[in-house]
Chains A and B, each alone.
Chain A
Amino acid sequence: MALLNARDEAEVRKQFGQMRDPIKLVVFSETLSGAVDLCRQNEQLVREVAALTDKATVEVLNLAIDRARAESYGVDRVPAIVVEGARDYGIRFYGVPSGYEFGNLIDSMIVASTGEPALSEETKASLQALTSDVDIKVFSTPT
């Protein structure tokens, strides 16, 4: 059963008109834990979304087996999605991005593809001047 309905697909396709360069969606799953159903759901959602653009490729990795790749992305939980553009911009999703987060996934894919965040020049300059690491966590729920 598809996760996205026809209206979702049409809306996402329209937004993906803004895509420019290819992006990669690296999905981390597990097969031997309580999260296996969520991982399956996450993989299905990512594949359905990626199918709506020719600019996105999907790679599914296993957290336990592909340890080195997980460490290089700083991923230690599943399900996880890394949204990667020309380079790794540090965009991660933990948990199936349904509800509100779904819009964020689509926006992330577009911004990774264009490399252009919708920020003011002042904000961009301030961020570019940062010399220390910044880790932002945003907690939300599906409803």
Chain B
Amino acid sequence: MRATAIEATEFPDLSRAYRVMAVPKIVINDRVEFEGALPEPQFLAAVLQAAGGNGP
């Protein structure tokens, strides 16, 4: 597990690469992305989806 907080203004190349328009923007495994905070159950669902779904 890696959780990185990125100051978008200091890393314009990263912000461009991830198309950051509004903040906060969350990107998980370069697959799932959303803007704004999510309640815990929905955040977890996004993490599980990005990790490849439930189960093997």
For this complex, into which size category does the number of interface residues on chain B fall? 20 to 34
Query: Could you give, for residues 1-38 of chain B, a 1 whenever the CB lies within 8 Å of some chain A CB and a 0 otherwise?
Result: 11111111111001100101001111111100000000
A136 proximity list for chain B (CB < 8 A) = 1-4, 26-28, 47
Q: Do the beta carbons of B2 and A135 come within 8 Å of each other?
A: yes
Which listed residue, B14, B20, B44, touches A123 by the CB 8 Å rule?
B44
B31 to A, closest residue via Cβ: A135
A91 interface contact, C-beta 8 A: yes
Q: Do the beta carbons of A139 and B23 come within 8 Å of each other?
A: yes
A9 interface contact, C-beta 8 A: no
Cα A127 to Cα B45 in complex, Å, equals 10
For this complex, into which size category does the number of interface residues on chain A fall? 35 or more
B2 proximity list for chain A (CB < 8 A) = 74, 90, 92, 133-136
B3 proximity list for chain A (CB < 8 A) = 89-92, 136, 138
Please, could you name 28 A-B residue pairs with CB atoms under 8 Å apart, sorted by A? A89-B3, A90-B1, A90-B2, A92-B5, A94-B4, A95-B10, A95-B11, A96-B7, A101-B5, A104-B5, A122-B44, A130-B51, A131-B56, A132-B51, A133-B1, A133-B2, A134-B29, A134-B47, A135-B2, A135-B30, A138-B3, A139-B8, A139-B14, A139-B18, A139-B24, A139-B26, A139-B27, A140-B24
